[in-house]
Amino acid sequence: MHDHRRLGRELDLFDTDRLIGAGLPYWLPDGAVVRHALEEYVREAERRAGYRHVYSPVLGKRELYEISGHWAHYSEDMFPPMELGGEQVVLRPSLCPHHALIYRSRPHSYRELPLRMAELGGMFRAELSGVLGGLTRVRAIQLNDAHVFCTLEQVAGEARAALDLIRRAHRDLGITGARYRLSLPGPGGKYVAAPEKWRRATELLTEVLNASGVEYEAVEGEAAFYGPKIDVQVADGAGRESTLSTVQVDFHQPEQFGLEYTGPDGAKHRPVMVHRAVIGSVERAVAHLIEQHGGAFPAWLAPVQLVVLPVSEAELPHAEQLVARSLEAGLRAELAGPELGSLGARIRQARLVPYQAVLGAREAADGAVALRLRDGRQVPGVSVDGLLARIGAVAAGRWADLWEEGTPPAP
Ligand SMILES: [Zn+2]
């Protein structure tokens, strides 16, 4: 495992500035490409799984968090409130209360359930400056969050579907070695008191984990303040574990916000909220991807997918043309011309780029390239058309292999 803080700076992915502040990294263009590809992946996967996306503001009135329970159970992690026109507003510590209000803003029938609401939205955590560094402990977080409002009978199915979404995402992202944890309340924690609800939620999640066949460990003291959760844990370079993905069952917030739907009997019923994050925070997910892949991202995530290397000045026009065609085909391509040094030096410089297309006199005359793959394989005399089609297929299919469509690793 690599250290994402060092690699992030070396590869120009992100950085920080004392004047912006600790725990507030900014994203450089190459890092922004990775983040954008990841966010698009998540939105597409969610759309396919029946989620609809919303946007909600990063601020809310203090009263909102008093109702949700964050103020009583979570305020140590929240930023202090701001006085504004005689009111107090706070930077939000989660997206759930906003989503509960969006649900509440319209009447709902049982026919609309399960109603799946997703957002990649900003949230804030008042981390102490001592633990800040890189992308893993940040104060401004972009969260991949979603809430499924459903009936009690639908909870297990929705939690199972969320777990499937998580496993598929880990496979597509090349994340291996994740560990599953059933996070339960422990002694002394700030949990909402409702023993019957905790028992039922724990039962449901246990059932889902057992049915999914994954190995898991039950750990006390790791639950959310409003309910138990399934956490998918990954380790960083120093062996520290953190939660990447999560599925939670919540009876508390629907109660707090008085959420309702009209049942087949014409009466009002209370939905359950299933909270789930496929990649958790975008910051932590990218940090983990940097460490897991050592900067050699899968082709579909790579900041630059194809580098074009003309052997000499004579092939420069052909090289420029290939870059233009690649961009036109939707690929991320760059030119590394002879002014940047010897061919060998340029190849070393581009060692993390999945596809390195060398253009000599013969290739230029044939409309072909001599292709080098990042993993050391060489494919001589590939036609330009064939090259673009293949890279496009690898990226669109999110193949783990750079050239052959193989069987993806088991989830
Ligand atoms: Zn939530």
Q: In the Cβ-directed half-sphere of 275, how many Cα atoms lie within 13 Å?
A: 30
**Burial (CB count <10 Å: 0-12, 13-18, 19+), residue 400:** middle
Ligand 1 centroid–CA 99 distance in Å is 8
Question: Would you list the DSSP string of 146-210?
Answer: EEEEE-GGGHHHHHHHHHHHHHHHHHHHT----EEEEEE--TT------HHHHHHHHHHHHHHHH
Burial 187-203 (b: 16+ CB within 10 A, else e): eeeebbeeeebbebbbe
Which pLDDT value is given to residue 298? 94
Ligand 1 centroid–CA 276 distance in Å is 7
CA angle 253, 254, 255 (to 5 degrees): 85
Ligand 1 centroid–CA 368 distance in Å is 52
Ligand 1 centroid–CA 298 distance in Å is 30
Which pLDDT value is given to residue 270? 97
Which pLDDT value is given to residue 22? 87
Which pLDDT value is given to residue 198? 85
User: 326 and 388 in contact (C-beta within 8 Å)?
Assistant: yes
How far apart CA 187 and CA 270 sit, in angstroms, is 29
Which pLDDT value is given to residue 66? 94
Ligand 1 centroid–CA 83 distance in Å is 26
Ligand 1 centroid–CA 144 distance in Å is 10
How far apart CA 369 and CA 11 sit, in angstroms, is 26
How far apart CA 326 and CA 305 sit, in angstroms, is 10
Which pLDDT value is given to residue 131? 58
> Prior bond to 114 cis, omega within 30?
yes
Q: In the Cβ-directed half-sphere of 190, how many Cα atoms lie within 13 Å?
A: 9
Cα 168 to chain centroid, rounded: 12
pLDDT (tens digit, 0 to 9) for every residue of the chain, 411 residues total?
A: 688 988 998 999 999 888 998 899 999 999 999 999 999 999 999 999 999 999 999 999 999 999 999 998 888 899 999 999 999 999 999 999 999 999 999 999 999 999 999 999 999 999 876 556 688 889 999 999 999 999 999 999 999 999 999 999 999 998 888 899 999 988 876 777 777 888 888 999 999 999 988 899 999 988 888 889 999 998 877 788 889 999 999 998 999 999 999 999 999 999 999 999 999 899 999 999 999 999 999 999 999 999 999 999 999 999 999 999 999 999 999 999 999 999 999 999 999 999 999 999 999 999 999 999 999 999 988 999 999 999 999 999 999 899 987 654 443
Ligand 1 centroid–CA 152 distance in Å is 17
Residues 6 or more apart whose CB falls under 8 angstroms from that of 19 comprise none
Ligand 1 centroid–CA 94 distance in Å is 6
Reading the block at residue 40, the tokens are 């698009």
Ligand 1 centroid–CA 281 distance in Å is 12
Ligand 1 centroid–CA 165 distance in Å is 17
Ligand 1 centroid–CA 275 distance in Å is 5
Predicted TM-score of the model (pTM): 0.91
Which pLDDT value is given to residue 246? 94
Which pLDDT value is given to residue 411? 38
How far apart CA 121 and CA 33 sit, in angstroms, is 18
Q: Which of 112, 375, 56 is nearest to 259 (CA)?
A: 112
User: 180 and 216 in contact (C-beta within 8 Å)?
Assistant: yes
Ligand 1 centroid–CA 208 distance in Å is 19
Ligand 1 centroid–CA 248 distance in Å is 8
Give the DSSP H or E segment for 289: helix 282-293
Ligand 1 centroid–CA 117 distance in Å is 10
How far apart CA 89 and CA 81 sit, in angstroms, is 5
